[in-house]
Amino acid sequence: MREQELRGLVAEVKDGTLSRRSFVQRMVALGLTAPMATMMLAHHGVAMAQPSSAYTPTKAGGGGPLKLLFWQAPTLLNPHFAVGTKDQEGSRLFYEPLAGWDPEGNMVPILAAEVPSRENGGLAADGMSVTWKLKRGVKWHDGKPFTADDVVFTWKYASNPETAAVTSGSYIDVVTEKIDDHTVVVKFKKATPFWGDAFVAALGQIIPKHLFEDYIGAKSRDAPTNLKPVGTGPYRFVEFKPGDIVRGERNPDYHRPNRPFFDTVEMKGGGDAVSAARAVLQTGEFDYAWNTQVEDEVLLRMEAGGKGRTMITEGGDIEFIQLQTCDPWTEIDGERASLKAPHPIMTDKAVRQAIGLLVDRTSIQKFIYGRTGVATPNFLTNPKQFRSAKATWEFNAEKAAQLLESAGWKRGADGVRAKDGKRLKFVFQTSINAPRQKTQAIIKQACQRAGIDLELKSVVGSVFFSSDVANPDTYTKFYCDMQMFTTTMTQPDAERFMNQYCSWEAATKENKWQGRNIVRWRSEDYDRLFRAGQGELDPVKRAALFVQMNDLVIADGHVMGVVNRPKTAAVINKLKTNVSGWDNSLWLIGEWFREA
């Protein structure tokens, strides 16, 4: 579209002759994502959305307890060390970012006074900076004022390599400067099409300078506030037992009027997804159960009781399989799965291709996930403009066997194939919940038909997703041959999501296994495409680059999508939430309330 035509459409939005929704729909038809279209409006001076909800309470408090059930319980409450979604969610009870993403993918202000736009002076015309104006009168839970100093400090903290923050990728390539007590500017090294990363949503939670400044860098893990958060959010910290329970109480000084509705909040951990769903849908013991990864048939039976409903929220989360690129059984310099030691068998592409043919996605969707999963071979699945049409999948055990045979992998007396003294016997791990164990079983049975022996390993979720660097069974260490889990897409843009395969993000002992490239896959072509995508201002060309990245990593075979997983939660009937598929589920928990 020519610039003159675009300006004409923007002018129609400004004067009310064209709705924002119609503009976004037209831009989506041209290949943009809806969030990029709304950000384009902001760039041309049209104010972006404000937080929206059907919130009806006329005063804060009075709602009694809000009981949340997270069967994967938080293990720490510092959002910048949150290697798993559970830790992000736990932190989000107390901490807030400058802005978040609503269910439609619109950016909405939280600690910011407004969303930056060309009209309010927040967005530079050259794409080199964004200026944030901060909300005034906000206090930390200990009564100290929230200011620009806290925002600048959060940038320094997360970008310091010795801090080893999992959020570092959002901060290392920007510079954040204080203009005054309530204004900061984020400067980019080059024109940046997606500026809504640093300080936004799950990765953007602001921490207080006065409590963390003595623990920046190498001492970051020693901060008492890692376990006793002091934030700006709707709830104040009361109690935390890692792996068990988090308790908070209503923040009487919360900066949004008449909120929160609930007097206390409890995030209970433990158990499994089935028991969590049952505690809401059948017994009504809890108000909300997170991530009810349960066979759809079971959920439907539970819903028949009439006490609650299954809430399904579309997003970009993907249940997928990783095939290790490094040797998990050999230790080098005190580190297994070292970048210095390639995997002795998975380096054979024929083996990877064979395993790909042995994942029966159709059956996995039909008999396990139902409404709660859509079969896909891709890693990047949403928004739809980033979805590749190139990748396909096929389930064919006979073809897999032929492929292995042609590559020299011959069956032994026990039926397991071998070559050059190496046997196709692998350890396949995931966390404990019924759909994953059933998926493992389906894949194991197919592999046996082709001559591959899988040893199935199931790890308790609180261990598998632990942020404890001494724990050998975390998914980030990946001390096995294959593993499966869901990675969440916490913003409606592909850049942060796809940095999981950049070479510099490899999870290693040096970065305390905090790098996001857990499979340790490396490709110069991928790195080149990613860097190009970071600076491409044309949204159609930019989307095409990320599609190419998906195709490159999928074609190599170390990564394979299983099902796209919308967020699934069990909710008691009268509870009103605003869960977003592009942010944490608790992104705006101060808006939740219970109908009378």
pLDDT tens column, 501-539: 999 999 999 988 989 999 999 999 999 999 999 888 888
Mean pLDDT across 277-297? 94
Count of C-beta atoms within a 10 Å radius of residue 544:
18
pLDDT(430) > 80: yes
Q: How confident is the model at residue 490 (pLDDT cuts 50, 70, 90)?
A: confident
Question: In one letter, which amino acid is 113?
Answer: A
Mean pLDDT across 35-56? 57
Is 263 a domain residue? no
Say whether both 127 and 11 belong to one domain: no
Is 445 a domain residue? yes
Which is nearest to 45 in space by CA: 81, 83, 15?
15
- Give yes or no for a contact between 223 and 121, defined as CB atoms under 8 angstroms apart: no
Say whether both 336 and 456 belong to one domain: yes
Is 155 a domain residue? yes
Say whether both 30 and 108 belong to one domain: no
pTM summary value: 0.74
- Give yes or no for a contact between 532 and 280, defined as CB atoms under 8 angstroms apart: no
76 vs 3: which has the higher pLDDT: 76
3-class DSSP state of 535:
helix
- Give yes or no for a contact between 507 and 586, defined as CB atoms under 8 angstroms apart: no
- Dump pLDDT digits (tens) for 96-112: 999 999 988 889 999 99
Measure Cα distances from 171 to 78, 149, 529 in Å.
16, 16, 20
> Between helices 434-450 and 273-281, what is the axis angle to 10°?
140
> What pLDDT is recorded for position 588?
96
pLDDT(17) > 60: no
Say whether both 27 and 100 belong to one domain: no
- Give yes or no for a contact between 466 and 75, defined as CB atoms under 8 angstroms apart: yes
Element (H, E) at 531: helix 524-535
Instruction: Return d(Cα 178, Cα 186) in angstroms, integer.
Output: 9
Which is nearest to 572 in space by CA: 596, 588, 594?
594
Q: How many domains does the chain have?
A: 3
> What pLDDT is recorded for position 83?
78
pLDDT(474) > 60: yes
Q: How confident is the model at residue 40 (pLDDT cuts 50, 70, 90)?
A: low
Place of tokens 């059956």: 363
Is 326 a domain residue? yes
Is 451 a domain residue? yes
3-class DSSP state of 363:
helix
- Give yes or no for a contact between 568 and 372, defined as CB atoms under 8 angstroms apart: yes
- Dump pLDDT digits (tens) for 341-351: 999 999 999 99
140 vs 51: which has the higher pLDDT: 140
Is 264 a domain residue? no
Q: How confident is the model at residue 50 (pLDDT cuts 50, 70, 90)?
A: very low
Mean pLDDT across 262-277? 93
Instruction: Return d(Cα 511, Cα 86) in angstroms, integer.
Output: 21
Q: How confident is the model at residue 24 (pLDDT cuts 50, 70, 90)?
A: low
98-107, 130-139, 216-225: least confident range:
98-107
Mean pLDDT across 468-490? 93
Say whether both 14 and 93 belong to one domain: no
User: What is the share, in percent, of the chain residues with pLDDT greater than 90?
Assistant: 79
Mean pLDDT across 172-179? 96
pLDDT(385) > 60: yes
User: Average pLDDT, whole number, for the chain?
Assistant: 91
31 vs 472: which has the higher pLDDT: 472
Instruction: Return d(Cα 116, Cα 112) in angstroms, integer.
Output: 9
Burial grade of 131 (CB within 10 A; 0-12, 13-18, 19 or more) = middle
Which is nearest to 41 in space by CA: 60, 26, 63?
26
| Domain of residue 101, CATH code | 3.90.76.10
pLDDT(16) > 60: no
> What pLDDT is recorded for position 377?
96
Is 511 a domain residue? no
Mean pLDDT across 146-161? 98
Say whether both 394 and 324 belong to one domain: yes
Instruction: Return d(Cα 14, Cα 44) in angstroms, integer.
Output: 10
Say whether both 466 and 332 belong to one domain: yes
> What pLDDT is recorded for position 293?
83
Mean pLDDT across 486-512? 92
> What pLDDT is recorded for position 169?
87
Say whether both 155 and 86 belong to one domain: yes
Q: How confident is the model at residue 63 (pLDDT cuts 50, 70, 90)?
A: very high
> What pLDDT is recorded for position 47?
46
> What pLDDT is recorded for position 537?
80
Is 312 a domain residue? no
**Domain extent for 15:** 3-43
Instruction: Return d(Cα 154, Cα 225) in angstroms, integer.
Output: 14
Instruction: Return d(Cα 219, Cα 234) in angstroms, integer.
Output: 29
Say whether both 20 and 149 belong to one domain: no
> What pLDDT is recorded for position 32?
57
| Domain of residue 444, CATH code | 3.10.105.10
pLDDT(51) > 50: no
Say whether both 394 and 488 belong to one domain: yes
Mean pLDDT across 114-123? 93
pLDDT(352) > 90: yes
The tokens for 366 are 């039909």
User: What is the share, in percent, of the chain residues with pLDDT greater than 70?
Assistant: 91
Say whether both 194 and 340 belong to one domain: no
> What pLDDT is recorded for position 532?
93
Say whether both 222 and 325 belong to one domain: no
